[in-house]
Amino acid sequence: MEADGVPGAHPDEPHTQGLAQRLNWLRAGVLGANDGIVSTAAVVVGVAGATADTGPVFIAGAAALVGGAISMALGEYVSVSSQRDSERALIAKEKRELADDPEAEFAELIGLYEAKGLSRETATQVAHELTAEDALAAHLSVELNIDEDDVVSPWHAAFASAVAFVLGALLPMATILLAPHPARIALTFVTVLVALAITGYVAAWIGGANRARAIVRTVIGGALALAATYLVGSLFGTTVV
């Protein structure tokens, strides 16, 4: 069996370069979508709990959408930029060490493979072959678990997070603005929880995690957020819907 050009690889397991980039997009996208759904829904439900007027609900929701998307994009960019800078610094350090003392680095590589359970003879042979192929890649992989060609992009993360946030935020806004007035809050609750269940399932499916656990985690968190903000709106608002 061969997958992604790797002999013996299972077809449902990633083995090619770009894994960090794909996981980066997935993490940022899922986080953005969930945050867009929950935070925007919480705002519009809270305002709807305080007033029956559609205007304030729309304004609050639009502000939450724009501000949240910018905040998510900025947060992802700063976070991933810090990670990328750290990875690049480690790569540069490893390059210097290989240039300054390749013998010591080769001995270190052998020791690292021995620590993983290989015999001295096998570890030496593996170190020889990988060093001949790409010494830097061998050291980055076993020492730091870094692929020089797979350093994450902060722009990708920022874009994925912002777009996913907007798409997620539009769902509760559209529901509460278009649904019949007496049932708009209840319908928003249902729509949001179903959407969160779907995003939790999809994220778990793509990542190979437990689907049920992911669904329960996202749905319970969303329900608590909606209930809390609706309660605040109802207690401090002038008109309870």
21 found inside a domain: yes
Tell me if 173 sits within 8 A of 42, measured CB to CB.
no
pLDDT at 150: 67
46 found inside a domain: yes
pLDDT at 23: 63
pLDDT at 195: 92
Distance CA 176, CA 180 (A): 8
105 found inside a domain: no
Strands (DSSP E) contained in 109-236 are: none
Tell me if 44 sits within 8 A of 174, measured CB to CB.
no
Rg, Å, the chain Cα set: 25
173 found inside a domain: yes
109 found inside a domain: no
100 found inside a domain: no
Domain residues for the domain of 213 are 17-91+154-236
pLDDT at 40: 94
- Domains contained in the chain, number: 1
Tell me if 185 sits within 8 A of 214, measured CB to CB.
no
145: left (phi over 0), alpha (psi -120 to 50) or beta: left
40 found inside a domain: yes
Low-confidence ranges of the chain (pLDDT < 70): 1-27, 150, 237-241
* Residue 17, SS3 per DSSP: coil
pTM of the predicted protein model: 0.73
42 found inside a domain: yes
Largest CA distance in the chain: 79
pLDDT at 19: 53
